[in-house]
Chain A
Amino acid sequence: MTTLTLGKALNAGLRRALAADDKVVLMGEDIGTLGGVFRITDGLKAEFGANRVVDTPLSEAGIMGTAVGLAYRGFRPVVEIQFDGFIYPGFDQIVAQVAKLHYRSRGNVRMPLTIRVPFGGGIGAAEHHSESPEAYFAHTAGLRVVACSNPADAYVMIQQAIASDDPVLFFEPKRRYHVKGEVDETASLADAKPMGVASVVASGTDVTLVTYGALVQTARDAAIAAAEDGVSIEVIDLRSLAPVDYATVEASVRRTGRLVITHEAGQQGGVGAELAASVTERCFEFLEAAPVRVTGHDIPYPPAKLERHHLPDLDRILDGVDRVLGRPNSLSGVEA
């Protein structure tokens, strides 16, 4: 075991993927000489060369579209989008080409792209640097969408994403890049938990709390706080947003009878909406209360000094837990 930050764990995972398969190429803005604005690709250009770790022009559609061409030729491009809010110029290539070419070519052309996206807020950043665009991609057939939350998962999941023959949107919780954890760099990928499987990161009996990315730590903290209040919360790190591991979520909800979902992204049409609907359809008779969503507001990401009023935090999550338990909460007395 090695102690690594989440960022360094990604770096180590990328290094191992580059070494394992010479068809793996990294592409992005500032990822080569600089090592990326978050240094996730630090040192990789020096180690593998400019044709494996490619500094590209400032053109997200260009990066995505040339990656499609490289995939046509048998490469496995790993694309870095510098910040979540910069992905939209590449949106057409992702949704119309990356997601659909395997289908459009009747399985003849594979698109094993990994699209790395540092996502979410909480770092006091400028506009367009704190967004959570995952639902756009979870909505798009042909894509897989995952989010890592800790160094051990980051190290394994980035390699699994690169090895996947399907395109993967890989969301990285940028405000957790510096969080440290134990990573087993000798572990075999074959033995690792598949990236499509969720993790129960805290066991509990009263409420199932589902989240992903940066909020996993917040949810765990909420579970500890709730325990002091006599409420037992089971925390699930979803890891895969498309497809969702409903087996794990359902098994938990059938035991607890209560579901709270939290994410930084807005509520409307979000991952939480889909999860609430699906869980309600699948285990309605086990539910003691309607599922509760604790999400970012449906607003453009606010200025840095307001972001704490936008992002779900420990107290807002606990307020949601109170709602699902029918205890006094922010909506007590309000007609539904």
Chain B
Amino acid sequence: MTPSDRDATGLLTKPDHFVQLITPAGERRADAEHDPWVADVDAAALGRLYRDMAIVRRLDAEATALQRQGELGLWPPLAGQEAAQIGSARALRDDDFVFTSYREHAVAWCRGVGPAELLTVWRGSASSGWNPYEHGMAVPQIIIGAQALHATGWAMGAAWEGTDAASVAYFGDGATSEGDVNEALVFAASFDAPVVFFCQNNQWAISEPVGLQSKQPLARRADGFGMPGIRVDGNDVLAVLAATRIALDRARRGGGPTFIEAVTYRLGPHTTADDPKRYRTDDELTEWGARDPLTRLLALLGTMGVDIEGLERDIADEAGRAAAELRAAVTTIPDPEPMTVFDHVYAEPNTHLARQRDHYARYLAMFDETDAAASGAAGGAR
């Protein structure tokens, strides 16, 4: 490695620095080690992966717009990370379980999470939008890296029960500095837990470049923990699919955990509350824009004889309908009833909280009486 191998953010992005099966220009690179893992992925299957990525990009843009229009309190856009999320999540089975951070909307899409379920948390209407057991996907995790341990524990349990199900921990480059992630790597290695550590290195932890988290490629850390590390072009959906299939196969066969570093880029802000212009350059955006995950797949499909104009037209229609559904769904999310603020703190009856709940109900009831008195004075015309 020489300094000239690094791009503006200090990242290694040349094809010989990671697994890449589709170049940014859309050429299919032969790779004897990884090609067998995606031998079944024909033009039609690639078209479906493209469809996934195009629709979630459209949904992501719509959600950003909904935030700008005041319908959502916050939104963390995924734009740029479609291949990393779709390629990995499409490698999973229904009985697997994913533990994500808060940006994995494309993973949620693959796990069958519906539009209202996806937006509930970001509208501030409830503390979670879906039942984790219906989708094999935990509630979003805001505490950076905490879910890596949850995925590891779940995987330990799956192995103890004698199943071949696996879990995936999704986290970012920033999370690799957290103790929880490192402790998860220790536990997973020591117990041969069937877990895949899927790190989306999107180059930025809000304003901090990945170089602040690590002086070397993150995938190299795996070796120190005693597990295989795979560095993959995270903007190449086929390479991500291959890497995740390799890791899941190892997990299911009792081979233990794998660390995957998917090298990608967050094209948008950290969240709708962030201003990335304060910490990164237009040149960098242009550079990464040229490595876009969707453009390269479309180009590849063109070389495979697919009618890409037709494909694009059909998918644009479908994505438009999905976006309209998302927009319609947001207003169907019910505003929570005041007294539900006390719900689900405990699974069992709790005398202390019951007393507070009762007190607050009495307090709220005073306003009903006040309103009733006021309307009575006004002749009851309400």
Task: Identify B347's interface contact among A77, A166, A196, CB under 8 A.
Answer: A166
A106 in contact with B149 (CB, 8 Å): no
Q: Which of chain A's residues 259-287 have a Cβ closer than 8 Å to chain B?
A: none
List of B residues within 8 angstroms of A104 by Cβ: 127-128, 139
A166 in contact with B158 (CB, 8 Å): no
A103 in contact with B127 (CB, 8 Å): yes
Task: Identify B149's interface contact among A68, A101, A107, CB under 8 A.
Answer: A68
Task: Identify A70's interface contact among B127, B156, B179, B343, CB under 8 A.
Answer: B156
List of A residues within 8 angstroms of B126 by Cβ: 106
A85: CB under 8 A from chain B? no
A309: CB under 8 A from chain B? no
Task: Identify A141's interface contact among B343, B345, B347, B348, CB under 8 A.
Answer: B345
B132 in contact with A93 (CB, 8 Å): no
**A152 vs chain B, min Cβ distance (A):** 23
- Report the separation of the CA atoms of residues A196 and B187 in the bound assembly, to the nearest whole angstrom: 34
List of B residues within 8 angstroms of A108 by Cβ: 128, 131-133
A107 in contact with B347 (CB, 8 Å): yes
Task: Identify B153's interface contact among A70, A89, A242, A244, CB under 8 A.
Answer: A70
A59 in contact with B183 (CB, 8 Å): yes
Q: Which of chain B's residues 136-189 have a Cβ closer than 8 Å to chain A?
A: 138-139, 143, 146, 148-158, 160-161, 167, 179-180, 183-184, 186-187
B132 in contact with A105 (CB, 8 Å): yes
Query: What are the interface flags for B342-369 relative to A under an 8 Å C-beta threshold, 1 for contact and 0 otherwise?
Result: 0111111011110000000000000000
Give the nearest-CB partner of A49 in chain B.
B160
A165 in contact with B348 (CB, 8 Å): yes
Query: What are the interface flags for A105-123 relative to B under an 8 Å C-beta threshold, 1 for contact and 0 otherwise?
Result: 1111110100000000000
A75: CB under 8 A from chain B? yes
List of A residues within 8 angstroms of B348 by Cβ: 164-166
B183 in contact with A243 (CB, 8 Å): no
Chain B residue total in the interface (Cβ 8 A): 43
A69: CB under 8 A from chain B? yes
A65 in contact with B346 (CB, 8 Å): no
**B178 vs chain A, min Cβ distance (A):** 9
A330: CB under 8 A from chain B? no
A106 in contact with B127 (CB, 8 Å): yes
- Report the separation of the CA atoms of residues A154 and B10 in the bound assembly, to the nearest whole angstrom: 58
**A281 vs chain B, min Cβ distance (A):** 11
List of B residues within 8 angstroms of A75 by Cβ: 157
A109 in contact with B132 (CB, 8 Å): yes
A110 in contact with B347 (CB, 8 Å): yes
Query: What are the interface flags for A69-83 relative to B under an 8 Å C-beta threshold, 1 for contact and 0 otherwise?
Result: 111111101000000
List of A residues within 8 angstroms of B184 by Cβ: 62, 65-66
A67: CB under 8 A from chain B? yes
> A97-B143, A142-B346 given as contacts; is B187 within 8 A of A61 (CB)?
no
A69 in contact with B179 (CB, 8 Å): no
B190: CB under 8 A from chain A? yes
**B129 vs chain A, min Cβ distance (A):** 9
- Report the separation of the CA atoms of residues A218 and B70 in the bound assembly, to the nearest whole angstrom: 60
A33: CB under 8 A from chain B? no
**A91 vs chain B, min Cβ distance (A):** 12
A92 in contact with B146 (CB, 8 Å): yes
A96: CB under 8 A from chain B? yes
B122: CB under 8 A from chain A? no
List of A residues within 8 angstroms of B197 by Cβ: none
List of B residues within 8 angstroms of A96 by Cβ: 143, 146
- Report the separation of the CA atoms of residues A105 and B140 in the bound assembly, to the nearest whole angstrom: 10
B150 in contact with A97 (CB, 8 Å): yes
A70 in contact with B190 (CB, 8 Å): no
**B362 vs chain A, min Cβ distance (A):** 15
- Report the separation of the CA atoms of residues A41 and B135 in the bound assembly, to the nearest whole angstrom: 37
- Report the separation of the CA atoms of residues A107 and B345 in the bound assembly, to the nearest whole angstrom: 8
List of A residues within 8 angstroms of B352 by Cβ: 242-244
Query: What are the interface flags for A24-57 relative to B under an 8 Å C-beta threshold, 1 for contact and 0 otherwise?
Result: 0100000000000000000000000001000011
Give the nearest-CB partner of A23 in chain B.
B157
> What are 13 A-B contacts defined by CB distance under 8 Å?
A57-B186, A62-B149, A69-B156, A69-B167, A92-B143, A92-B180, A93-B149, A97-B150, A104-B139, A108-B128, A109-B138, A243-B350, A245-B351
- By Cβ-Cβ distance, the 3 closest A-B pairs, closest first, are A69-B153, A65-B149, A66-B153
